[in-house]
A and B are shown apart, each in its own frame.
Chain A
């Protein structure tokens, strides 16, 4: 992932690692840092990768723009982009309403409009590094922002918008980091046991990666609730080709989640073990389709 996305994982916070999920084509990264220098390098690489393919670049800074401009300018290509105007450093307050609870649909509309503007101006898309820590400080903010993260994740499946969502480990606890990271297809947060992300733009189908066991039970329930999946034709379909392990708790939870939505749930997994477990549990409304 680091090669393609251009992220440098060498300077890591204590609970993050280079063990990243494999690349997915749409570039939605959760980056939690406690070393600003490491963040700076990672962000510059993320932006440089977009520059190479002609994307408009934004850096949404939590604080003042000037220090960020200075840091980005250390990379000559980014300095040129700043000069040309294809890279802009904007203040968080200009992009999100800070201090408030994010309005997810409105925020998605704002980025959608900005993406279309970028395309209209001849760019291949919009790529954003967003320092979002001030938007997740309270439980209400975190709840709304994680819901927004899944909404924008769906949008990224449809349109050429890419984002590196940056959170300061020194300001959010491990649980908050996990709640944010698990709703991204890519993250540097090593303790994220699983990831739930969009399979398509409609949000009708999501993918699961990682491992779902007892230690992830509560986090999984929270993630499902926030993703707010909508059944299609009476079915919720989850793609689980990257899900390495799923236990009976997660299967029971999925089935209950679908039942509350008057739907059957289908887990498409390469692992026959999940199908055998489902057969043991004898749960109508839960099907594991084994696709090796």
Chain B
């Protein structure tokens, strides 16, 4: 049994809230949250400190709304999908007829890593559609760059507005289409310099050794080990599913290591590759999904020369 705007809907009811003032945010969020609690639905807030405080202050004491720690939820898109799917599955198992969540991405997600968060916003239309979820993603017009707001409109089927408004987004694009588009991740300045190592058709073992060779011991060893896992899987995928030549280029900066793995093919056919564990649970589809959870940024580039996956360990910003 679902309630509110999502009543009679199946699966995921995904909305964005674009607000110009705190009052406007509260005018949408508070009725949404209290409506959920009144209906007996598990109701969550995944906001940062400032906006989380606003919401807390606006809700009556003991409202029953639960606050998730937004910062850790939104560390990496694939990890966010994994933890939200677990949360949703647990709530459904406990008998929930609908779950309500309002969340916001941290400001830092609108910078160099926005492309993979845009992919997240698109992919979750599919990834959460297994659950009776009504969620709102809040974007502060005062702090969100215009190009990000454009992508928000393309990745959210509708906008929630004060007064229980639910307005379709005219530019909404199905994830199977959106995720196949070229998404322009900004070049890392390190990529303007010659790579420290460039290998053609390396084995996965040679690729792993190359990452170790460029490690200047400025990153925590665990971060380097995770990048080694990611590069190994990416090179393995390129050798197995891509077209030759497979090329690995590596750069190291004062706070990061960047790896670019290219091949002459078109990249993964599955638009959700990396964001969801692929397909039927066969082991072959897991490599990219693991890669997405082993780096601080993964960007895709499809060009005339083929497909490139760029992986960043350390600080991608």
Contact surface of A with B, Cβ cutoff 8 Å: 193, 211, 213-215, 245, 247-249, 252, 271-273, 276-277, 280-281
Contact between B232 and A271 (Cβ–Cβ < 8 Å)?
no
Interface size class of B (residues with CB under 8 A): 20 to 34
Does A215 contact B287, Cβ atoms closer than 8 Å? no
Is B226 in contact with A276, judged by CB distance below 8 angstroms?
Answer: yes
A229 to chain B, nearest CB (A): 21
In the complex, per-residue mask of B216-254: 1 if CB is within 8 Å of any chain A CB, else 0: 000000100110110011001000100000000000000
The interface bits of chain B over 282-296 (1 if a CB of A lies within 8 angstroms of the residue's CB, else 0) are 010011001001100
Contact of B283 among A252, A273, A280 (CB under 8 A): A252
CB <8 Å contact, B236 and A214: yes
Contact status A245-B286, CB under 8 Å: no
A193 to B204, CA, bound (A): 11
Let me know if B208 is at the binding interface, CB within 8 A.
yes
Contact between A272 and B205, CB atoms less than 8 A apart: no
Contacts of B228 in A (CB 8 A): 245, 273
A211 with B226: CB separation less than 8 A? no
Are B204 and A214 closer than 8 Å at their CB atoms? yes
B21 part of interface (Cβ distance < 8 Å) = no
A273 CA to B286 CA, complexed, in Å: 16
Contacts of A213 in B (CB 8 A): 204-205, 232, 236
In the complex, which of the residues A213, A215, A248, A249 has the most CB atoms of chain B within 10 Å of its own CB atom?
A213
Chain A residue contacts of B232, Cβ below 8 A: 213, 245, 247
Residues of A with C-beta under 8 A to B293: 280
A residues in contact with B287, CB < 8 Å:
248
Contacts of B73-100 to chain A: CB distance below 8 A? 82
Contact A193 B205 (CB under 8 A): yes
Task: Write the B84-122 contact mask toward A (1 if CB under 8 angstroms, else 0).
Answer: 000000000000000000000000000000000000000
Min CB distance A259 to B, Å, is: 15
Say yes or no: A247-B240 contact (C-beta < 8 A), given A211-B208, A280-B290.
no
Measured CB to CB, the closest approach of chain B to A203, in angstroms, equals 28
Task: Please give 8 more A-B residue pairs, beta carbons under 8 A apart, in addition to A214-B204, A272-B225.
Answer: A213-B205, A245-B205, A245-B232, A252-B283, A272-B222, A273-B229, A276-B222, A280-B290
Kindly report which residue of chain A lies nearest to residue B212, judged by CB atoms: A244
Alpha-carbon distance between A280 and B291 when the two chains are bound, in angstroms: 11
Chain B interface helix/strand/loop/mixed: helix
CB distance from A215 to the nearest CB of B (A): 6
Cβ-defined partner of B286 (8 Å) among A211, A215, A248, A271? A248
What residue of chain A has the Cβ atom nearest to residue B226's Cβ? A273
Contacts of B294 in A (CB 8 A): 276
Query: What chain B residues lie within 8 Å of A248 (beta carbons)?
Result: 283, 286-287, 290
- Chain B residue with minimal CB distance to A247? B232
Q: Within the complex, which residue of A215, A280, A281 is in contact with B205, where a contact is CB–CB below 8 Å?
A: A215
**B200 sits at the interface (CB 8 A):** no
Query: How many angstroms from the CA of A245 to the CA of B209 in the assembled complex?
Result: 11
A249 CB contacts on chain B under 8 angstroms? 283
Query: Is A277 a contact partner of B229 (Cβ separation < 8 A)?
Result: yes
A248-B290 Cα distance, complex, nearest whole Å = 9
| Residues of B close to A215: CB separation below 8 A | 203-205
Q: Provide the residues of chain A in CB contact with B226, threshold 8 Å.
A: 273, 276
Determine the residue in chain A with the shortest Cβ distance to B78: A280
The 9 closest A-B pairs by CB, nearest first: A273-B225, A214-B236, A213-B204, A249-B283, A248-B286, A252-B283, A272-B222, A273-B229, A211-B205
Q: Please indicate the chain A residues that have their CB under 8 angstroms from the CB of B203 in the complex.
A: 215
In whole angstroms, how far apart are the Cα atoms of A213 and B82 in the complex? 24
Q: Which residues of B contact A252 (CB under 8 A)?
A: 283
B208 to chain A: closest residue by CB: A245
A223 and B283 CA atoms in complex are apart in Å by 20
Of A214, A245, A273, A276, the contact of B240 (CB 8 Å cutoff) = A214
Task: Sample 12 A-B pairs with CB under 8 A, ordered by A number.
Answer: A211-B205, A215-B204, A245-B208, A247-B229, A252-B283, A271-B225, A272-B222, A272-B225, A273-B228, A277-B229, A277-B290, A280-B293
Chain B neighbourhood of A280, CB < 8 A = 82, 290, 293
Please judge, given known A-B contacts A213-B236, A248-B287, whether A273 and B208 are in contact too, CB under 8 Å: no
Residues in A whose Cβ lies below 8 Å from that of B286: 248, 281
**What is the bound-complex CA distance between A249 and B204, given in angstroms?**
14
Closest to B239 in A: A214
CB distance from B250 to the nearest CB of A (A): 17
* Nearest opposing residue in chain A for B86, CB measure: A282
* Closest beta carbon of chain A to B90's beta carbon, Å: 14
Bound-state CA distance A194–B222 (Å) is: 22
Given the complex, which residues of A lie within 8 Å of B290, measured CB to CB?
248, 277, 280
Give A250 Cβ to nearest chain B Cβ, in Å: 10
Task: Give CA–CA (A215, B207) in the complex, Å.
Answer: 13
Q: Tell me the B269-316 residues at the A interface (CB within 8 Å).
A: 283, 286-287, 290, 293-294
- B53 CB to nearest chain A CB (Å): 32
Which one of B204, B205, B229, B286 has the highest number of Cβ atoms from chain A below 10 Å of its Cβ?
B229
- Tell me the nearest residue of chain B to A273, going by C-beta: B225
A271 to B226, CA, bound (A): 10
Residue of B at shortest CB range from A244? B208
0/1 interface trace, chain B 1-21, chain A, CB 8 Å (1 if under) = 000000000000000000000
A193, A247, A272, A276: the one contacting B233 at CB < 8 Å is: A247
Report the nearest B residue to A272, measured CB to CB: B222
Q: How many angstroms from the CA of A98 to the CA of B287 in the assembled complex?
A: 45
Q: Distance in Å from the Cβ of A270 to the closest Cβ of chain B? A: 11
Nearest chain B residue, comparing its CB with the CB of A251: B283
Question: Complex formed: what's the CA distance from A272 to B223 in Å?
Answer: 10
Min CB–CB distance B82 → chain A (angstroms): 8
